[in-house]
């Protein structure tokens, strides 16, 4: 019984065998019931031809019944043999891909995420194999992102920790005098680590779909003006001109003002970070049917076309050898994308190429 529960091949074989046995028993039963009537009718016709002989009629009936039983038994035996052959063939066709998926699932469970199964048909088993391969591919990508995240996070932590360690060792050894500037440097790196932890917590909630939005009617013009006011001093200090055109801004939209402010701070902060001295950043707003469109365009470093799809990945850098100026944590754009999507909107990046600036466009649905 345990073997029957565990082996689908045995179940298929027994189902074929059961069908043959039931069919054979029904055939025998029908023959037993109907054969005497049919044979009696044919014997009566023969008697009309050869004459009335009760002994001959009885002998013919007995011989016909025996022959019929023999034919049925032979037919049942052949049917059982055919059922065995067909069930073996069919079972292998069914169980082979299932066994393959079972072995592949064990390999994936042990960490071999690149394992795939062969798609052998277009039926339900083929569809199951394709679904299995898509699952395996997703798991492999997830594992790659996990390893990449660990490496990126280690890289992001290494620099500030090394700076703090170096400064503290110099202070302890007396190589560097205990002055305010040295302590400020340590404080700056600690603040950077705190921002990284906060952003990672925010990103974790965003990717888990746990962002809570407090939707209300918001004036996008006032919101953008407030963000510009908060960042204007940083733009002036770096020597980057910030130009804003909000003349086409609608009166109100439904949004979470705090989250939308966070999006704009990330976009304008990112533009400032990668725009050189003397560059310009533009904020343009327009209203189209059903959407508020906000564009943040800069004359900065630009993005290669083949990397535009990856710009919203956490810790992603266009220039891998470049350190993050200004204390950026590298997850701001990722958080911005999740926040925009939580508003049922979308955000896209465009750039003609390196050194030619970039444009980030936010599409937000207007209030009905």
The number of domains in the chain is 3
Examine the fold and report which residue of 44, 79, 112 is the final residue of a domain before the chain moves on: 112
Q: How far apart are CA 23 and CA 79, in angstroms?
A: 10
125: pLDDT strictly greater than 60: yes
Q: Do 191 and 82 fall within a single domain?
A: no
Q: Do 306 and 273 fall within a single domain?
A: yes
Q: For residue 268, what pLDDT band results from cuts at 50, 70 and 90? A: very high
325: pLDDT strictly greater than 50: no
Rounded (5°) CA angle 49-55-57 = 45
Q: For residue 190, what pLDDT band results from cuts at 50, 70 and 90? A: confident
Summarize the confidence of residues 23-49 as an average pLDDT: 66
Q: To which residue do tokens 């280690």 refer?
A: 154
Question: What pLDDT, on the 0 to 100 scale, is given for residue 203?
Answer: 73
Q: Establish if 119 belongs to a structural domain.
A: no
112: pLDDT strictly greater than 80: yes
Q: To which residue do tokens 């801004």 refer?
A: 249
Provide the 3-class DSSP secondary structure of residue 10: helix
Q: Establish if 118 belongs to a structural domain.
A: no
Element at 76 (helix H, strand E) = helix 54-109
Q: Do 225 and 326 fall within a single domain?
A: yes
Containing domain of residue 147, as a range?
A: 125-207
Q: How far apart are CA 224 and CA 340, in angstroms?
A: 15
Q: Establish if 274 belongs to a structural domain.
A: yes
Q: Do 106 and 134 fall within a single domain?
A: no
Structure tokens at 96: 């082979």
**Partners of 216 in the beta sheet?**
255
CA-based nearest residue to 271, from 246, 223, 245, 303: 303
326: pLDDT strictly greater than 50: no
Examine the fold and report which residue of 207, 236, 261 is the final residue of a domain before the chain moves on: 207
Q: For residue 359, what pLDDT band results from cuts at 50, 70 and 90? A: very high
Residues 6+ apart with CB under 8 A from 215: 254, 255, 256
Summarize the confidence of residues 75-103 as an average pLDDT: 75
Q: Do 99 and 22 fall within a single domain?
A: yes
44 vs 303, residue with greater confidence: 303
287: pLDDT strictly greater than 60: yes
66: pLDDT strictly greater than 60: yes
Q: Hey, which of 16-25, 63-72, 110-119 has the most confident mean pLDDT?
A: 110-119
Q: Do 233 and 360 fall within a single domain?
A: yes
Q: For residue 53, what pLDDT band results from cuts at 50, 70 and 90? A: low
For residue 139, what is the domain's CATH number? Answer: 1.10.287.130
Q: Establish if 117 belongs to a structural domain.
A: no
Stretch among 56-70, 92-106, 201-215 having the lowest mean pLDDT? 56-70
161: pLDDT strictly greater than 70: yes
Chain mean pLDDT for the chain: 79
Q: Establish if 236 belongs to a structural domain.
A: yes
Q: How far apart are CA 338 and CA 206, in angstroms?
A: 6
Residues 6+ apart with CB under 8 A from 232: 242
Q: Establish if 42 belongs to a structural domain.
A: yes
Q: Do 44 and 164 fall within a single domain?
A: no
147: pLDDT strictly greater than 80: no
Stretch among 82-96, 214-228, 236-250, 309-323 having the lowest mean pLDDT? 309-323
Question: What pLDDT, on the 0 to 100 scale, is given for residue 323?
Answer: 46
Examine the fold and report which residue of 153, 184, 207 is the final residue of a domain before the chain moves on: 207
Q: Do 141 and 159 fall within a single domain?
A: yes
344: pLDDT strictly greater than 80: yes
Summarize the confidence of residues 74-103 as an average pLDDT: 75
Q: Do 220 and 353 fall within a single domain?
A: yes
Q: Do 228 and 359 fall within a single domain?
A: yes
Q: Do 131 and 82 fall within a single domain?
A: no
For residue 233, what is the domain's CATH number? Answer: 3.30.565.10
C-alpha separations of 318 from 112, 238, 240, 336 in Å: 30, 21, 21, 18
Question: What pLDDT, on the 0 to 100 scale, is given for residue 321?
Answer: 47
Q: Establish if 165 belongs to a structural domain.
A: yes
Q: Do 41 and 97 fall within a single domain?
A: yes
- pLDDT digits 0-9 by tens, 312-324: 877 666 655 444 4
Q: Establish if 324 belongs to a structural domain.
A: yes
Query: Considering the chain, what percentage of its residues have pLDDT values greater than 70?
Result: 79
């Amino acid at each position: 019984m345990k073997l029957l529960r565990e082996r689908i091949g045995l179940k298929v074989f027994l189902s074929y065998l059961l069908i043959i046995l039931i069919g054979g028993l029904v055939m025998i039963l029908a023959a037993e019931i109907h054969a005497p009537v049919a044979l009696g009718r044919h014997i009566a016709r023969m008697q009309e031809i050869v004459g009335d002989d009760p002994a001959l009629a009885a002998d013919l009936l007995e011989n016909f019944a025996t022959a019929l039983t023999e034919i049925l038994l032979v037919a049942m035996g052949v049917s059982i043999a055919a059922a065995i052959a067909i069930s073996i063939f069919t079972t292998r066709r069914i169980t082979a891909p299932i066994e393959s998926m079972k072995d592949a699932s064990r390999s994936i469970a042990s960490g071999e995420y690149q394992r795939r199964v062969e798609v052998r048909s277009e039926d339900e088993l083929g569809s199951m194999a394709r679904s299995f391969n898509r699952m395996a591919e997703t798991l492999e990508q997830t594992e790659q992102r996990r390893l990449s995240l660990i490496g990126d996070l280690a890289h992001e932590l290494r620099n500030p920790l090394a700076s703090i360690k170096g400064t503290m060792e110099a202070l302890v050894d007396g190589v560097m005098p205990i002055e305010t500037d040295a302590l400020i440097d340590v404080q700056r790196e600690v603040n950077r680590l705190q921002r990284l932890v906060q952003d990672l917590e925010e990103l974790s909630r965003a990717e888990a779909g746990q962002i809570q939005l407090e939707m209300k009617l918001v004036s996008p013009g006032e919101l953008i003006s407030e963000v510009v006011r908060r960042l204007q001093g940083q733009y002036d200090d770096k020597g980057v001109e910030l130009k804003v055109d909000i003349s086409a801004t609608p009166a109100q939209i439904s949004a979470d003002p705090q989250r939308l402010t966070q999006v704009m701070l990330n976009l304008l902060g990112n533009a400032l970070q990668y725009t050189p001295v003397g560059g310009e950043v533009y904020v343009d707003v327009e209203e189209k049917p059903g959407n508020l469109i906000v564009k943040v365009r800069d004359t900065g470093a630009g993005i290669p076309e083949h990397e535009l799809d990856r710009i919203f990945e956490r810790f992603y850098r266009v220039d891998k050898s470049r350190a993050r100026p200004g204390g950026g944590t590298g997850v701001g754009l990722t958080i911005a994308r999740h926040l925009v999507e939580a508003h049922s909107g979308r955000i896209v990046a465009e750039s003609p190429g390196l050194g030619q600036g970039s444009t980030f466009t936010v599409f937000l649905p207007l209030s009905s």
